[in-house]
Structure 1
Amino acid sequence: MKKVPMYLQIAQSIRQKIDRGEWVIGSKIPTQREIAEQFQVNRSTVITAIDILKSEGLLEGITGSGIYVSNNQWSLLSSSSPPNWKELTQWATQPSSDHIVQLINDSESRKDLIQLSKGELGPDLYPHAEIEKSLIKVTAQLQEFGYGNGLGDKGLREEISRHLLTHGMEIAPENILIVSGALQALKLISIGILKKGSTVFLESPSYLHSINLFRAEDMTLKSILVDRDGLVLDELFQHYIPKHSAALYINPTFHNPSGTTMSTKRRELLIERCQSLRLPVIEDDIFRDLWIDRPPPLSLKTLDKHGQVIYIGSFSKTIAPGLRIGWLAGPETVVKRLSDVRMQTDYGSSYLSQLLVKELLSSGLYEKHLLRVRARLKEKRDFLLHLLNEHFSHDATWDKPAGGFFIRVVLKDKINMHRLFKSCLNHSLLINPGFIYRDFTPSIRLSFAYATEREMEEGIIQLKRNIKNNL
């Protein structure tokens, strides 16, 4: 029997996805490179397959954008067309991510790239032994898998309360809500607490600029400058209008993407001013446990005596993002309100993940894991700083972070950062350009948490080469 050529096999595979409704009219198909990798062929073979489907009227190319599904076999035979889902999604309340952000999200799962962008612990820091030991114990204790009451497992909330006490925060379990990571906490706040059309003050640059979370609720984002000492308070209060519906979102400890930490003095002044002006504060403190040189200053929540601060923490950065366990702490009325909103959305986080984290905390395995993580992060941070000194001492500036995952590198020469990002990606290097965080300097957020030392060295050499080629 004669073997069917690969280009025909690829064309048939795409036809089937279109006919089964997996790839609907208006949707963008994977890139030629991605299809070539899937079928282990060269791109010319994929191009031939796509040209066949274009001639059949199933696909169309849009210059500078990609290849889209234009029809299916039924629409070609029918007088009426099926819904164009791409057109319909343009009217959705949740806007799409920036194209570069989507590309980064898609690329972070690729094994063929050097990941200098990834904001999570690398495989060498994953707590295999601790999780295995805890899972064995938890499995023997399983009794039910109910929805719960929206607040989360009481035992886990009690353990988080005890953990926060070690950081100087006296927060009762009733004031803690278990969430599926910090982003869900922010989403709950945006739809359950903040008024539609409110002003949200946030740092510039800020991680939140890379997502459209608050914009989906028609909120106005006001960027406030960050210097080496944290948020610039004078600039914040110049823009704040008392009695106007507003809130401050802030990541004061090992800030993402700059790596800076707000000083104790500035924290005290910030809380004092926010309390006098009744400006609510959302403190994102997900990196607190990941200090390297010394424990960070007290959290804003610790300084808060009037219920001014809603505090967000997470185990995604310290254990593993796949657990999807974080928490939100605030006044009891706020927590109850948000737990009700939570029940209207997904009825709570994974019960098994909650029990696993509770066991890690109660057994002391979490603290044991953190000791190893901090020591290893110090080695990896110092190695990346060494590489930057060796290769970029005349071309860029940066600060040494005291914890977290990131080093913000600011290039001295003007360069097209969009072109640099794509050039690096084409050479198997993934970076996070500063513009996705509204950083208007030619900057790059580099992570030392995920990549190995060998990968970091290859990545920095490749970055230097790509910068030279794009100047």
Structure 2
Amino acid sequence: MKKVPMYARIAQLIRQKIDRGEWVIGTKIPTQRELAEQFQVNRSTVITAIDILKSEGLLEGIAGSGIYITNNKWSLLSSVSPPNWKELTQWAMQPSSDSTVQLINDLESRKDLIQLSKGELGPDLYPHVEIEQSLIKVSRQLKEFGYGNGLGDRGLREEISRHLLTHGVAIAPENILIVSGALQALKLISTGILNKGATVFLENPSYLHSIHFFRPEEMAIRPIAVDRNGLRLDELFQHNFLKHSSALYINPTFHNPTGTTMPAEQRMLLMEKCQTLQLPVIEDDIFRDLWIDEPPPPPLKALDIHGQVLYIGSFSKTIAPGLRIGWLAGPESVVKRLSDVRMQTDYGSSYISQLLVREVLASRLYEKHLIKVRGRLKEKRDFLLYLNRFHN
């Protein structure tokens, strides 16, 4: 049998993706370099395959942009064009991520790179033994696989309530909502609590600048500078705050991406002022348990006497991101409202993941794991500082 040239095989594979609707009209195909890496060929082979598809009317190059799908075999045979999904998605409510963020997302799955962008533990620091032990125990406790009531497993919420008490936050399980990570908590707040057209104040720089979280709800974003003490309070309180139309999103402990931690005195000043202004606060505190030299000051939620702080935490950074278990703590009425909104989308986080995290917390394996992680993080931090001094 005659061997099919590689360029012809590549052209056929691309043609199949187009014909099956996997790559629709308007889609930008991977770059020549990406295709060459995927098929482990020279770029000249990829260029030959693309030229064939261009001659068939399936692809078209746009200078400075890339190569796009312009037709499929059905559109070439019919006078009726299929829907232009690219045009439709361009005007969708949720905008696309920035190109840099998309590139980072694509690179995050590569095993040959050290992942720094996600702010998570490396594979060598995941609690493999603790998770295995907890899974064995949990497997004997499985009784139901339903959706639950939307708030999350009662036992897990009780364990999180106990854990938060060690940070000075006294909050009942009824005031805790289990979510599939901190991002879902923020999405629920943006759609279920904040008004359309509201003003959200947040740190500059901030992680949220990269994901356009509040843009679909047409909210105004007001960046506030960050210095070595965290959020610049003088700059924040120069603004006018409209009641029921303003909120502050803040990451005061091990801030992403600067790493700064707001001192206790500044936290007290911030909360006193926010209480006077009746300014709602969204506190993102997902890195708290990963301190190295000494514990950080208590959360803003620990200073909250009026129930104006919505407190977000997650086990993605301390146990494993794949579990997708986090929480949101706040006034019971707010938690019930967000639970209702959540039930309109996915009915709740993974039941097995909830039981697993509950067991890790209840067995005190979590505290033992954190002690080991902090020790290893300190070693890695000190080694990087040594290398920096050595090279300088």
Matches within 5 A, 1:402-413: none
Tell me: CA distance 1:237–1:339, structure 2 relative to 1, closer, same or farther (3 Å): same
Q: Answer with 109-118 or 362-371: which moved more.
A: 109-118
CA distance in 2: counterparts of 1:308 and 1:6, whole angstroms: 63
Tell me by how many angstroms 1:205 deviates.
0.7
DSSP-derived class of the 2:310 partner: strand
User: Which residue of structure 1 lines up, in the alignment, with residue 77 of structure 2?
Assistant: 77
Q: Answer with 283-292 or 373-382: which moved more.
A: 373-382
Tell me by how many angstroms 1:387 deviates.
2.9
Counterpart amino acid of residue 61 in structure 1: G
- After the TM superposition, which segments of 4 or more aligned residues of structure 1 sit over 4 Å from their partners? none
1:276-332 deviation line (CA, Å, top 9, x unaligned): 000000000000000001000010000001101000000111111111110000000
**Structure 1 contact 360–366 (Cα < 8 Å) conserved:** yes
**Structure 1 contact 290–374 (Cα < 8 Å) conserved:** yes
User: Which residue of structure 2 lines up, in the alignment, with residue 271 of structure 1?
Assistant: 271
CA distance in 1: counterparts of 2:200 and 2:17, whole angstroms: 42
Matches within 5 A, 1:8-47: 8-47=8-47
- Corresponding position: 1:205 with 2:205: yes
For the aligned residue pairs, the C-alpha RMSD in angstroms reads 1.2
CA distance in 2: counterparts of 1:108 and 1:162, whole angstroms: 34
Tell me: CA distance 1:117–1:386, structure 2 relative to 1, closer, same or farther (3 Å): farther
User: Which residue of structure 1 lines up, in the alignment, with residue 141 of structure 2?
Assistant: 141
CA distance in 2: counterparts of 1:65 and 1:390, whole angstroms: 43
CA distance in 1: counterparts of 2:362 and 2:259, whole angstroms: 30
| Number of positions where the alignment pairs a residue of Structure 1 with one of Structure 2 | 392
Counterpart amino acid of residue 24 in structure 1: V
DSSP-derived class of the 2:259 partner: coil
- Corresponding position: 1:225 with 2:225: yes
DSSP-derived class of the 1:163 partner: helix
Matches within 5 A, 1:166-315: 166-243=166-243, 245-315=245-315
CA distance in 1: counterparts of 2:70 and 2:385, whole angstroms: 49
**Structure 1 contact 205–226 (Cα < 8 Å) conserved:** yes
1:97-150 deviation line (CA, Å, top 9, x unaligned): 111111111111123434443421111111111111111111111111101111
CA distance in 2: counterparts of 1:156 and 1:65, whole angstroms: 49
Tell me by how many angstroms 1:382 deviates.
1.9
CA distance in 2: counterparts of 1:178 and 1:70, whole angstroms: 45
**Structure 2 contact 195–244 (Cα < 8 Å) conserved:** no
CA distance in 2: counterparts of 1:301 and 1:209, whole angstroms: 23
DSSP-derived class of the 1:222 partner: strand
User: Which residue of structure 2 lines up, in the alignment, with residue 440 of structure 1?
Assistant: none
User: Which residue of structure 2 lines up, in the alignment, with residue 2 of structure 1?
Assistant: 2
Tell me by how many angstroms 1:31 deviates.
2.4
Matches within 5 A, 1:362-381: 362-381=362-381
**Structure 1 contact 156–358 (Cα < 8 Å) conserved:** yes
Tell me by how many angstroms 1:364 deviates.
1.0
CA distance in 1: counterparts of 2:218 and 2:192, whole angstroms: 14
Counterpart amino acid of residue 101 in structure 1: V
Tell me by how many angstroms 1:30 deviates.
2.1
**Structure 2 contact 154–173 (Cα < 8 Å) conserved:** yes
**Structure 2 contact 241–279 (Cα < 8 Å) conserved:** no
Tell me by how many angstroms 1:66 deviates.
2.1
Counterpart amino acid of residue 281 in structure 1: V
User: Which residue of structure 2 lines up, in the alignment, with residue 410 of structure 1?
Assistant: none
DSSP-derived class of the 1:35 partner: helix
Matches within 5 A, 1:52-201: 52-201=52-201
Q: TM-score, normalised by structure 2?
A: 0.98
Q: Answer with 296-305 or 56-65: which moved more.
A: 56-65
Gaps of 5+ in 2: none
Gaps of 5+ in 1: 394-471
Tell me by how many angstroms 1:47 deviates.
1.7
Tell me by how many angstroms 1:63 deviates.
2.4
Tell me by how many angstroms 1:36 deviates.
2.1
**Structure 1 contact 242–277 (Cα < 8 Å) conserved:** no
DSSP-derived class of the 2:238 partner: helix
Tell me by how many angstroms 1:240 deviates.
3.0
Counterpart amino acid of residue 219 in structure 1: M
Tell me: CA distance 1:114–1:321, structure 2 relative to 1, closer, same or farther (3 Å): closer
**Structure 2 contact 206–257 (Cα < 8 Å) conserved:** yes
Tell me: CA distance 1:195–1:118, structure 2 relative to 1, closer, same or farther (3 Å): closer
Tell me by how many angstroms 1:38 deviates.
2.3
Counterpart amino acid of residue 82 in structure 2: P
User: Which residue of structure 2 lines up, in the alignment, with residue 328 of structure 1?
Assistant: 328
**Structure 1 contact 199–219 (Cα < 8 Å) conserved:** yes
CA distance in 2: counterparts of 1:325 and 1:50, whole angstroms: 44
Q: Answer with 260-269 or 104-113: which moved more.
A: 104-113
Q: TM-score, normalised by structure 1?
A: 0.81
Tell me by how many angstroms 1:40 deviates.
2.0
CA distance in 2: counterparts of 1:289 and 1:372, whole angstroms: 12
DSSP-derived class of the 2:38 partner: helix
Tell me by how many angstroms 1:61 deviates.
1.9
Tell me: CA distance 1:54–1:222, structure 2 relative to 1, closer, same or farther (3 Å): same
Counterpart amino acid of residue 107 in structure 2: S
CA distance in 2: counterparts of 1:43 and 1:49, whole angstroms: 10
CA distance in 2: counterparts of 1:388 and 1:74, whole angstroms: 60
CA distance in 1: counterparts of 2:105 and 2:197, whole angstroms: 28
Tell me by how many angstroms 1:232 deviates.
0.8
Matches within 5 A, 1:303-452: 303-391=303-391, 393=392
Counterpart amino acid of residue 194 in structure 1: L
DSSP-derived class of the 1:141 partner: coil
CA distance in 1: counterparts of 2:14 and 2:272, whole angstroms: 60
Tell me by how many angstroms 1:242 deviates.
4.1
**Structure 2 contact 125–373 (Cα < 8 Å) conserved:** yes
The sequence identity of aligned pairs, in percent, is 82
